[in-house]
């Protein structure tokens, strides 16, 4: 039987939906989905994306919400009720959420840093700073761009490699402390405080996105970006990575396997219609991804057009000065013809000038694919600096990033705190405020690693390896456990008790067959991908070249990667083994008596 113990509830179903949206609609919708569209066929990527939403996203989201609502427990307690041998599944979810919380709030720290600098005029990333002699610009900045320099040097003060760890950057450490303080205040009183905050963290990003959409569509060159996005490249549908990427995006953008959705659902009324809410949250999450892509590609188009026209103007100026041409005789329209003419009439002079003449291409600018922090803190800031009233758009953008980041952090911390507050041993000794404070403090202290000079490299390690394989295994075990251990018929009866009707054939087929097969396919793909990759590598910043270079991970980093994967995945078999041993010892002690 599900534990019918007293626990706080959401004020109303709408508050629960807002909490789920605030958690599920995160930074991945803004900086991951547009990148995938760009890489895998533009508008054509939407075909596999929606197929995966129907086959994988909605069914698994419904399953997690139903389990949390029925069992009235966090992830550890919920799976323990289904079967004592599954206690490790909940522990694995808590471990993965802990890893995520350790590094994810650093993004909010960076957003605070950029927000504080957004009130300056001009913006500090608009131009390169002067060198110490004030006779020119910083050499590193001249080799790259002002936005990249501000990110890599003035924000991260990044080291040349992972081995050169450097010291903690106190400005970033203060921003991280502020980020954790904000999270602590939001979760201080459980659903009572979180329930109020989610209305803001879920709705404010949409207000900012609408403002950016209106502004983006009026920018010069925005149409180029939108045409690029919506032009389907159907040949990409034959690429297996397109389907794998679509399935992965659905899986991770909904936050499956972390335990957050189970924790949120455990605070629902038992009669809450979790089926309807699973559909609503899934569709809003996917619609937001498309909506944010339209905003992103309108800004991409503006940035690409701006860079393309700047390149053209530099070439025109270079040719006019070199060949003493009349002003107005050389334009963007006749540039190629004039190049051919000058090459034919002045071959030697043109050959000497040729290395300085860049090959300007709008298509090449649009093809430059960027995701993650590169999109959030470099591409967007580069576009913002060229807008009118850049300070206003900068403040709006980084406030939106903060709302998305804090909303996701509320879900991550709920996945950790709910099992702790469900524990009678812990809850009886410490008030909720103390438990929340200890969790935030520990994560904040560990998070200082990511504010060191090599912190961004550690951030990438956690981001790439702390959750991927672990979450796939967790959700696979969850699905198999509900369908084949707890029993699909028993689960049907539970749903009938809660929402007044049994799930239809679509849900049952997805749970029992389609979703597990998809997860197994993803798991095999990632496992073989890691094996075939050979030596794992990372992107390091080379200040002398002003660009990223590829380096091999040192031995100790590979050990950390292995521990990150093992720490969560091994919880599942170890939990089952310990339960078996405990039951065996208990039987033996009874038989001896």
Length of the chain: 593
285 is in an annotated binding site: yes
Residue keyed to tokens 């399935």: 247
Spatial distance between the Cα atoms of 419 and 72, rounded to a whole number of angstroms: 11
3-state SS class at 151: helix
Provide the token pair at 317. 């100026």
**Maximum distance among all Cα pairs of the chain, rounded to whole angstroms:** 107
Question: How many other β-carbons are positioned within 10 Å of the β-carbon of residue 516?
Answer: 21
Q: What are the residues facing 541 on neighbouring strands?
A: 548
Under 8 Å CB-to-CB from 404, ≥6 apart: which residues?
25, 26, 27, 29, 30, 201, 205
Residue keyed to tokens 């992972």: 162
278 is in an annotated binding site: no
Q: What is the DSSP string of 190-237?
A: THHHHHHHHHHHHHHHHHHHHHHHHHHHTSTTHHHHHHHHHS--GGGG
98 is in an annotated binding site: no
| Burial degree of 292 (CB within 10 A; 0-12, 13-18, 19+) | buried
Residue keyed to tokens 């959420």: 97
Judge whether 238 and 49 are in contact, CB under 8 Å.
no
Provide the token pair at 86. 């599954």
Question: How many other β-carbons are positioned within 10 Å of the β-carbon of residue 519?
Answer: 26
253 is in an annotated binding site: yes
Provide the token pair at 441. 């403090």
Under DSSP, the state recorded for 513 is I
- From residue 67, give the alpha-carbon distance in Å to each of 16, 72, 266, 494: 15, 8, 8, 9
536 is in an annotated binding site: no
25 is in an annotated binding site: yes
Residues marked as binding for Na(+)?
A: 24-25, 29, 253, 285, 404, 408
Residues marked as binding?
A: 24-25, 29, 253, 285, 404, 408
């Amino acid at each position: 039987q599900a534990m019918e113990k007293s626990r706080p509830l959401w004020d109303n179903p709408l508050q629960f939906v807002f909490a789920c949206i605030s958690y599920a609609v995160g930074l991945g919708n803004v900086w991951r989905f547009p990148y995938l569209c760009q890489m895998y066929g533009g508008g054509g990527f939407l075909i596999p994306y929606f197929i995966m939403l129907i086959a994988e996203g909605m069914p698994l989201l419904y399953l997690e919400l139903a389990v949390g609502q029925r069992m009235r427990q966090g992830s550890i307690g919920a799976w323990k009720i289904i079967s004592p041998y599954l206690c490790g599944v909940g522990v694995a979810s808590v471990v993965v959420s802990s890893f995520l919380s350790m590094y994810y709030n650093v993004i909010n720290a960076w957003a605070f840093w950029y927000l504080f600098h957004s009130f300056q005029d001009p913006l500090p990333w608009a131009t390169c700073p002067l060198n110490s002699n004030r006779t020119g610009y910083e050499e590193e900045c001249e080799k790259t761009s002002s936005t990249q320099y501000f990110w890599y040097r003035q924000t991260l003060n990044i080291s040349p490699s992972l081995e050169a760890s450097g010291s903690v950057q106190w400005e970033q450490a203060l921003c991280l402390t502020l980020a954790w303080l904000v999270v602590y205040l939001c979760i201080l009183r459980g659903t009572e405080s979180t329930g109020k905050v989610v209305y803001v963290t879920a709705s404010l990003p949409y207000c900012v996105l609408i403002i950016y959409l209106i502004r983006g569509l009026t920018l010069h060159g925005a149409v180029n970006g939108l045409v690029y996005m919506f032009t389907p490249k159907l040949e990409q549908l034959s690429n297996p990575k397109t389907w794998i990427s679509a399935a992965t995006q659905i899986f991770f953008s909904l936050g499956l396997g972390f335990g957050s959705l189970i924790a949120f659902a455990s605070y629902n009324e038992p009669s809450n219609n979790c089926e309807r809410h699973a559909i609503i949250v899934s569709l809003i999450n996917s619609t937001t991804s498309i909506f944010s892509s339209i905003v992103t590609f309108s800004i991409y188009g503006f940035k690409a057009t701006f860079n393309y026209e700047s390149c053209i103007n530099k070439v025109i100026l270079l040719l006019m000065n070199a060949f003493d041409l009349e002003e107005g005789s050389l334009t963007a329209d006749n540039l190629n013809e004039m190049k051919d003419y000058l090459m034919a009439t002045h071959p030697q002079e043109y050959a000497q000038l040729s290395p300085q003449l860049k090959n300007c291409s709008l298509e090449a600018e649009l093809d430059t694919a960027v995701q993650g922090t590169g999109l959030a803190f470099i591409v967007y800031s580069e576009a913002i600096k060229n807008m009118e009233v850049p300070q206003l758009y900068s403040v709006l953008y980084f406030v939106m990033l903060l709302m998305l980041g804090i909303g996701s952090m509320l879900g991550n911390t709920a996945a950790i705190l709910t099992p702790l507050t469900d524990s009678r041993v812990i809850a009886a000794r410490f008030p909720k405020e103390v438990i929340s404070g200890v969790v935030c403090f520990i994560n904040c202290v560990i998070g200082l690693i990511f504010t060191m000079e090599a912190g961004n490299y550690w951030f990438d390690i956690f981001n790439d390896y702390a959750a991927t394989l672990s979450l796939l295994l967790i959700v696979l075990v969850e699905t198999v456990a509900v369908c084949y251990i707890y029993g699909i018929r028993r689960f049907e009866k539970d749903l009938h008790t809660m929402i007044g009707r049994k799930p239809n054939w679509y849900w049952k087929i997805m749970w029992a067959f389609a979703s597990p097969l998809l997860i197994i396919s993803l798991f095999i793909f990632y496992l073989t991908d890691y094996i075939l990759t050979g030596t794992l590598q990372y992107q390091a910043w080379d200040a002398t070249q002003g660009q990223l270079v590829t380096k091999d991970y040192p031995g100790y980093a590979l050990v950390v990667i292995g521990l990150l994967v093992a720490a969560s995945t091994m919880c599942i078999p170890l939990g089952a083994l310990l339960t078996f041993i405990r039951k065996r010892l208990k039987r033996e002690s009874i038989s001896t008596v």
